[in-house]
Amino acid sequence: MTEPDLRWNLEGLSPPRQEHDSMRKYAEYQNKYRRENVREFKLKFNKLTEKELLDWINQKKNVQGYLKELILKDMREKRNEL
Instruction: Please tell me the predicted confidence (pLDDT) of residue 56.
Output: 97
- 1-57 confidence digits (pLDDT tens): 555 555 656 666 665 666 678 888 899 999 999 999 999 999 999 999 999 999 999
- pTM score, whole prediction: 0.63
Instruction: Please tell me the predicted confidence (pLDDT) of residue 10.
Output: 63
Q: Is residue 11 part of a domain?
A: no
Q: Is residue 14 part of a domain?
A: no
Q: Is residue 16 part of a domain?
A: no
Helices (H), 1-82: 3-10, 21-37, 51-58, 63-81
Domain that holds residue 53: 42-82
